[in-house]
Structure 1
Amino acid sequence: MTFDSPRITRRQILQLLLASSGAGALSSAGAAQALAALPGSVIRGGTLVANVAPEPGGLVAGINISSPAVVISASIFDGLVTYDNEYRPQPQLAESWQTSPDGKSVTFNLRKNVRWHDGTPFTSADVQYSILNVVKKTHPRGASNLAKVIGVDTPDPHTVVFRLSGPSPVLWAVLFGTETQIVPKHLYDGTDPLTNPYNVKPVGTGAFVFKEWVRGSHVTLQRNPDYWDKGHSGKDNKPYLDQIVFKMIPDSAARAVALETGEIAFAANNPVPESDVARLRKNPRLALDTVGWQAPAPMFFFDFNYKRKTFDDIRVRKAFAHAIDRAAMARIVWFGLADVAQSCVPSYQKQFFKPGLPQYAFDPKEAERLLDDAGLKRGPDGVRLRIDHVTEVSYGQVYLRAAEMMRQQLRNVGVEMTLVNLDLPSVIRKLYTERNFDTASMWYSAYPDPQIGVTRRFWSKNIKQGVPSSNASSYSNPQMDKIIEGIQEEGDVAKRKVLIDQLQQFVQTEVPSINLLELKFFGFYSSKIAGLRKGPMLFYSTLADAWLQG
């Protein structure tokens, strides 16, 4: 694994001692801690002030799934494995593993010196419970990701055996800590994981321990003094930071100011208005990163609620697709920080993306013709259809602007769309519990394999009451289910790719959902932060290795 860790000289440490301590996002750890810096390596101590937006509904990302929850949760929980810059699995809670020749079992050898933050030893029983009772049952992607996991054995406290129905190509892409999340069995067993009180006061195995969550203000994590990772030398105990404070700054313009002034030093989730990116990227005190989201691969789409019979008609769905100018949306609303989606699979995932799929060019006249054919004639007021539309405005004003553009374009073809703008918990309740909406626009992470983040949108078995980021539209089609379950079951890479091609062809032909944009997410961080796990999952990685330069 490659880390960004410039060496700090003795002279620089002495200079740090002589410098006055600031009170901003990068606070000095003081003279004693500076002298205790690891030789030629890092400076210990200090508080990193970060930002996430919107405020998450919970802090256990594998249960209360949302991007801001993942950013925080990654430093509280470790997974069985982590990944290097090429997305290859590396040891974390599992020291090593072996796969049987037939691909029907994977044996994980767990670390023996790991404890939960409350002092309870971490064992194979925690893994077994989490896989079978949390990930497979409550995670919106878990049933698909682990479809071939038919059992989990625990021959001893530090050995876990996954029993599989056959080789599972997707398994090694989902074992990281915020996707296949391992939670403490002694705190979750016998409860409903979705409502467990420890979702908002998490107890993990990671580098940082939860201290407090002041709603509307901040989440504070403190250094785990008993963290298992002693570094390559066995002596440079991680983490290096004393504390991380995740501030909640709901206004994007205020977040931009906070970055410029140094009030915050690490900001994920498109923290500033897209119109500010070009200006802020010129600031030498800030680093812009657009690669740290390539593994999550965010995709923006327009969903129909299939509890509304109007959307059973493919002509209506195609009409909506023709009515929306996606290229203009990418250019005007996103300031070029997005590309038009050609499939439900991101085009840069070349090993899975299928070129030459049916596309729906911006064509209002064709949209009107299709709506006429579907029997939705204009009334005396020019309106054919009245619907509501739930937005993800809590993630930023860009989603509201996109919805406003779509509202105007649909109005031009006779569809009157009323926008419903809610905070994140209310959106989750409306879409996934009440399912009381007509249409919605949202983004999901596609992740490096379509089985992880794409199929959940279309699989009928993923219509999970109350589970965020599942199949919100209630779309159910036996032919689609057969393709998706084939992808889950097929162990041969080439044959599986044929099924993934069929999935993309079916989605683009039947238009169960309109694929709008491939989003180029970005984040900013201070140039004084070293040790970030740079690569395709930067903002979804632990801050165990991060430290503050003088």
Structure 2
Amino acid sequence: MKRRELFQLTAAGMGLGIAGVPLHVLAQGKAGGVINAVVQPEPPGLMLGILQNAPTQMVAGNIYEGLVRVDEKLNPMPGLAQSWAMSSDGLTYTFKLQNGVKWHDGKPFSSADVVFSVDTFLRKTHARLRGNLGVIDSITAPDANTVVFKLKHTFGPFLGLFEVGSMPMVPKHIYEGAADFLNHPANSAPIGTGPFKFKEWVKGSYIHLTANESYREAGVPQVKDLYFHVIPDAASRAAAFESGKVDVVPGGAVEFFDVQRLSKLPGVSVTTKGHEFFAPHSWLWLNNRRKPFDNVKFRQAVMYALDREAMAKIAWHGYAKVATGPLNSAVKFHSNKVTHYARDLNKAKALLKESGYDGKPLRLLPMPYGESWMRLAEIIRQNLMQAGVKVEMVSTDVAGWNQRLNEWDYDMAVTYVFQYGDPALGVARNYISSQIAKGSPFNNVEGYSNPKVDALFDAGAKEIDPARRAAIYEEVQKLLVDEVPVAWLHEMQFPTLYRSSKVEGLINSGIGLNDGFARAKLK
């Protein structure tokens, strides 16, 4: 008997639910106002000001809020701020907050919470935001509903910092004066202002959120209870969705080869929307510090050797688009006016010869996120060997993958990163010299350094005129694509499966499920 069949038989026969939740709860429809979703993997915690990994953002993005939301075209929308204005010199931003907002414990939300969140809490806890906060000269609260940010210099993507995963608001009255934010007892029972309140977390089973009945928007949320289920393997997650026990499976939670079959089930839909702000981008880290990757001709040879079209079809079943360079096409200022590397084994072999490659075997570190990623790594290995590059696969678990990249202990490694809507927020970090530091698998891991690239990214961040920013980023894209610091693979398209016979309007922003459940409608 197949594992999927066994899973379905066991659940039905025993009268039990997945992840410890009774089937009568899982089966509730509109009357109960319940949505059952999968979270994969189980988040390490829900304090969004401290943890920013994807599972935490998906769950906690419905508990916490930012001052601004973003639509699918990356335009800012009101969040905890109802309006904002920029001074003519681009150095002052004034936010007017929504009226009557309360924390989940009933305390009022005010500008004092914003100042505390940004200037005290997040400066200490939010590694990705911390660098960008360096642009802020001061944050003040003239009154309870007004916050003023003064900048040291202009910063083009400033409004992109305010979505919930990048700058979540945390309650001053709970955390003020605490000696240790990272281990504060309130982290285990998060208090936000969002449309859902934390209710229960049964480790290894499910996280239960319930509607915030005092939420500021009338009729939001429509859903009474929201369960995020922890299901240990991809086949069981697919079976849970197929059998109707869960309503929503986020992108990447089932193997890509299962998506097409599941999307054809009655009353089921699939969408790739909701990742516009994140713009997931995959590539091969190439360790520029060591031979043969210190030679640009070798790195160009790698690009010509890769059959990225075949990878998109075989590994991702069409849910990927060949990348043209460092910017995902969903990111502002993406340019297609760059060198294009269609597969050409003759060019690859010629460049390998010119580079002086000695035939030494090179280590390839796959991304340990499931079978589809292993298939991708195997195609990469075959492509490179066809061009004459000897490759040894070095498989690890997630912890081992993180450790090797943190310590730069690799030759080539598969990865994907989020780009956060703007080159200054999510792209520059992977190529500028100041981000060469051990301890992160998502900064300048390849060790590439070019003063001209550093200067262009710096100029692009400080410029506020969109036309001038576009010209700057076009130049830096041309330069990077010619120098190939990494081997770009694909613009990832993570398909979300959902039971459209029950739920509609699930994706309603540029960050998808991370703040979408509140405005979803139950049929």
Same fold (TM over 0.5): yes
Q: Which residue is 2:344 aligned to? A: 363
Pick aligned residue for 2:392 from 417, 425, 430: 417
Q: Distance in 2 between matches of 1:427 and 1:461?
A: 23
1:326 Cα deviation after fit: 1.0
SS at match of 2:222: coil
Q: Which residue is 1:398 aligned to? A: 372
1:480–1:209 distance in 2 versus 1, CA, 3 Å: same
1:547 Cα deviation after fit: 4.3
Residues 296 and 447, structure 1, Cα contact 8 Å, conserved in 2: yes
Letter in 2 for 1:356: K
Q: Which residue is 2:195 aligned to? A: 207
1:191–1:375 distance in 2 versus 1, CA, 3 Å: farther
1:517–1:84 distance in 2 versus 1, CA, 3 Å: closer
Q: Distance in 1 between matches of 2:245 and 2:472?
A: 49
Residues 362 and 411, structure 2, Cα contact 8 Å, conserved in 1: no
Q: Which residue is 2:18 aligned to? A: none
Whether 1:54 and 2:41 are equivalent positions in the alignment is yes
Q: Which residue is 2:363 aligned to? A: 387
Letter in 1 for 2:235: A
**Residues 196-345 of structure 1 mapped to structure 2, 5 A cutoff:** 201-227=189-215, 229-231=216-218, 236=219, 238-308=220-290, 310-345=292-327
1:356–1:193 distance in 2 versus 1, CA, 3 Å: farther
**TM-score, normalised with respect to structure 1:** 0.81
Query: What is the count of residue pairs matched by the alignment?
Result: 499
Residues 26 and 548, structure 1, Cα contact 8 Å, conserved in 2: no
Whether 1:515 and 2:488 are equivalent positions in the alignment is yes
SS at match of 1:278: helix
> Alpha-carbon deviations, 1:276-313, whole Å to 9, x = none?
33322222321211222233221111112445465322
Residues 156 and 462, structure 2, Cα contact 8 Å, conserved in 1: no
Q: Which residue is 2:69 aligned to? A: 82
Letter in 1 for 2:367: E
Q: Distance in 1 between matches of 2:118 and 2:475?
A: 29
1:531–1:372 distance in 2 versus 1, CA, 3 Å: closer
SS at match of 1:115: coil
Gaps of 5+ in 2: 1-21
> Alpha-carbon deviations, 1:349-404, whole Å to 9, x = none?
5x6222231123323444344344433323xxxxx233241x3332x321111112
Gaps of 5+ in 1: 1-20, 35-44, 379-383
SS at match of 2:518: coil
> Alpha-carbon deviations, 1:127-174, whole Å to 9, x = none?
224334565666454356556433212233432111124554312233
1:347–1:532 distance in 2 versus 1, CA, 3 Å: closer
> Alpha-carbon deviations, 1:424-473, whole Å to 9, x = none?
x55444434x4433332111122332222222211233346545633333
1:377–1:470 distance in 2 versus 1, CA, 3 Å: closer
Whether 1:102 and 2:89 are equivalent positions in the alignment is yes
Q: Distance in 2 between matches of 1:356 and 1:142?
A: 31
Whether 1:541 and 2:515 are equivalent positions in the alignment is yes
Q: Distance in 2 between matches of 1:472 and 1:58?
A: 26
Pick aligned residue for 1:71 from 54, 58, 64: 58
- More displaced, 364-373 or 281-290? 364-373
Q: Distance in 2 between matches of 1:428 and 1:267?
A: 25
Q: Distance in 1 between matches of 2:363 and 2:47?
A: 34
Q: Which residue is 2:477 aligned to? A: 504
1:242–1:190 distance in 2 versus 1, CA, 3 Å: same
1:499 Cα deviation after fit: 0.9
Pick aligned residue for 2:167 from 180, 184, 189: 180
Letter in 1 for 2:518: A
1:293–1:404 distance in 2 versus 1, CA, 3 Å: same
1:97–1:444 distance in 2 versus 1, CA, 3 Å: same
Residues 508 and 516, structure 2, Cα contact 8 Å, conserved in 1: no
Residues 212 and 221, structure 1, Cα contact 8 Å, conserved in 2: yes
SS at match of 2:375: helix
Whether 1:27 and 2:28 are equivalent positions in the alignment is yes
> Alpha-carbon deviations, 1:148-206, whole Å to 9, x = none?
43321223343211112455431223321112222334427665666666555433221
Letter in 2 for 1:27: Q
- More displaced, 57-66 or 152-161? 57-66
Q: Distance in 2 between matches of 1:444 and 1:300?
A: 6
1:514–1:99 distance in 2 versus 1, CA, 3 Å: same
1:436–1:224 distance in 2 versus 1, CA, 3 Å: farther
Q: Distance in 1 between matches of 2:259 and 2:381?
A: 26
Whether 1:526 and 2:499 are equivalent positions in the alignment is yes
Q: Distance in 1 between matches of 2:199 and 2:436?
A: 35
Q: Distance in 1 between matches of 2:180 and 2:364?
A: 32
Residues 288 and 485, structure 2, Cα contact 8 Å, conserved in 1: no
1:216–1:127 distance in 2 versus 1, CA, 3 Å: same
1:310–1:280 distance in 2 versus 1, CA, 3 Å: same
Q: Which residue is 2:11 aligned to? A: none
- More displaced, 537-546 or 283-292? 537-546
> Alpha-carbon deviations, 1:216-275, whole Å to 9, x = none?
332222223443x241xxxx4x33323211112242222222112111101112333222
Whether 1:156 and 2:143 are equivalent positions in the alignment is yes
**Residues 10-25 of structure 1 mapped to structure 2, 5 A cutoff:** 23=24, 25=26
Q: Distance in 2 between matches of 1:73 and 1:453?
A: 21
1:112 Cα deviation after fit: 4.9
